[in-house]
Amino acid sequence: MTPDDEEIVTAEIVDDGGALAVIEEPAPRPLVDAHTVLFPGEEIPTTDTPGVTYSERDLHVSEETAEAIKKAREEESPPRRTAMRLFEAWCAQEGRVAKPCTTATYTEYGRHLMRKQLKVTTINNYMSLIMTSMPPGKRPDKSIFKSLMVQYRKKNKRALRRKEAFPITLAYLMPMLAKADAADRPIAWRDSAMMAFGYQFLGRSVEDVDFDIEDLTILDDRVIVWLAEDKTHDDEQTIVLHDRTDLRLVFRLRRWLGYLQQQGITSGPLFREVKRSGKVASSETRAKTATKRGDYLRPQTVNERVKLWFKAAGLVTDGRPVSSHSLRAGGATDLGMNNATEEELEDAGRWRRGSRMPRIYVRAAKDANRNRFAKVPIYDPDAQEPSA
């Protein structure tokens, strides 16, 4: 083998004088983009890949902003925390990165939920919560998952079934309120105000428990509600709830707020936890049991209390489950059954124009009361049989 045939293993650069020239490698560029956020003390990540170089001024946020971000992450909704907890556990088992996840990981997890034969709405909800939990600018592509869902819907018809909440109409709500009034305790005063408000406001439970006392203006014949935003509206709204002689919303809210005032509470969360002693619980005095919501009542508590008073009133359903959402469904059903227009329904529940949700409640109620065979006479064995 000649020298020319030898494999070149290494190569060096030599200057004209025969000396080795030292070639300095360029400093690695920062591995950042316009969406990178660095907390105080964090260094800029780097990579050999060429790109735009940002200074620390472009990337760091202040201590105050960092604390606000941390707090916002800690106060994520329970459904989102649950979805991410399950997703992270699955990723750990599969040896995948959960956050930020790749498109392949996102798609594979969607298939994992499909293999469990979950309902379409459940899968879509979980995958949406996971998607919105990813850092801005680093979300996976959901198009492949969506195409798989189309096939899943076609092959799993039972997965399309939805079990709507049983609507607590006035016929059901009034016995529940009467039972709470008979109890005549602070927690019952809170619950009766909460249920009457939930029915007439047509609110989602998370909206009901997020109100502050300052958000309500209570007059003798109406309650004016200021709503900063909701699921379908980003802008503020002012909703007027006119009082009724049956619900007595003004009385129930004033009774509860009067009790809070006796406890020295005139601002902050509207609906709060009440201890067995009848005193209003405070997150400051119950550090061991306080939740991330502080003095704000949990949406799950509304769910539990609605079920409790429904059962206490001796009521039964047609098989559909009772939940806090039953109050919203009940208000929508009563409106629809009493000839409210589509626009009035949408406005009352703050649904988007053309939403099918309010019509679902109304259609179910009308269908349940419609007897298509009512015009057919009951069979009488003594009547003359038809001739052959």
Q: What is the pLDDT of residues 152-205, one digit of tens each?
A: 988 887 656 666 789 999 999 999 999 999 999 999 999 999 999 999 999 888
What is the spatial distance between Cα 202 and Cα 200, in angstroms, rounded to a whole number? 5
What is the structure's pLDDT at 6?
41
The helix (H) or strand (E) run that includes residue 65 is helix 63-74
* pTM of full prediction above 0.85: no
CA distance 7 to 9: 6
Closest by CA to 197, choosing from 187, 209, 186, 185, is 209
* Amino acid of residue 35: H
Phi and psi, residue 32, nearest 5° = -140, 165
Residue whose tokens read 């619900």: 247
What is the Cα–Cα distance from 26 to 14, expressed in whole angstroms? 19
Q: What is the CATH number of domain 170-281+294-369?
A: 1.10.443.10
Domain ranges for the chain, please list them. 35-66+76-162, 170-281+294-369
Residue positions counted in the chain: 388
Q: What is the DSSP string of 146-163?
A: HHHHHHHHHH-GGGG---
pLDDT averaged over the chain?
81
Please determine, for residue 291, whether its predicted confidence score (pLDDT) is greater than 60. no
CATH number of 35-66+76-162: 1.10.150.130
Tell me if 35-66+76-162 shares its fold with 170-281+294-369. Answer: no
Residue-wise pLDDT for 190-228, tens only, equals 999 999 999 999 988 888 899 999 999 999 999 999 988
Q: Which helix (H) or strand (E) holds 29?
A: strand 29-30
